[in-house]
Amino acid sequence: MGGRAVNRIRLMGFVVFLAAGFVLLPFGSSGKTQAQDQTETIAIIGTGNVGSTLGKIWAEAGHRIIFGSRTPDSNRVRELIDQIGNGATATTQMAAAQQAAIILIPVPPTAIPEVVEALGELSGKLIIDPTNWWEFEGNWAVSPRDPRDSLAEQVQALAPGATVVKAFNTLNYAVMEDPSLSGGPVTVPIAGNDPAARERVARLVEDVGLEPLVVGPLAAAEYLEEMLRLAVAFREINPGVAFDYYLRVRPN
């Protein structure tokens, strides 16, 4: 039996746990926590909604934020840095990655191979992958037809010396910015093979005012990446309608 099949069998308990341990919400409130004792240097590759939102919050929490951009000297990037303040800077993607201990890669899924290669040597780095994979048939989001690893596992294969953790892929950036939009605490599932790396990511989740929950090894990222398909598909079918769902841990 192949390793992938074994992973699927081992993760059956994880899937049952998700069904029994979470409730889906239409919209979450959770105040941002105080800055942690441990300050991280975080490279954020790209300046889109997710990266900009998390960068702003983490900078406010006392972390050193370095944006990696293909155009770090552009007016748009300079304006972003001015808006974020708190010592945030911008440079090239490779320079940002090399200066940081933690790298967030909120980039389009098709760009992942090119981006990871462009970052240079990543051994010893912690990579947080918030991406999701989907393809469209008309207005409907579908899974890729060909069997493949999750995006997080692809990142790990591209950067074998790094430690990859899946997180922040199951919620909208607007809730990262203001958790109160969801009317209650929002849980962020975390998947990764290294316990220490998962703990570091959990602290960053708490800095955003969200609640971390380790759900398993990196192989669990396959299931986390499937969770966003519903929201994406419904947005395409109902343009102009604000639709999101979130995870929330509840007592058994």
**DSSP H or E run through 174:** helix 173-177
Closest to 82 in 3D by CA, of 47, 42, 45: 47
Phi/psi for 39 (5° steps) reads -90, 130
Q: Work out the percent of the chain whose per-residue pLDDT is above 70.
A: 75
- Cα 188 from Cα 204, distance rounded (Å): 11
Task: Render pLDDT for 175-229 as a digit per residue (tens, 0 to 9).
Answer: 999 988 888 889 999 999 999 999 999 999 999 999 999 999 999 999 898 887 6
- Cα 231 from Cα 186, distance rounded (Å): 16
Q: Which fold has domain 20-249?
A: Rossmann fold (3.40.50)
Task: Render pLDDT for 49-92 as a digit per residue (tens, 0 to 9).
Answer: 999 999 999 999 999 999 999 999 999 999 999 999 999 999 99
Position 97 confidence tier, pLDDT thresholds 50, 70, 90: very high
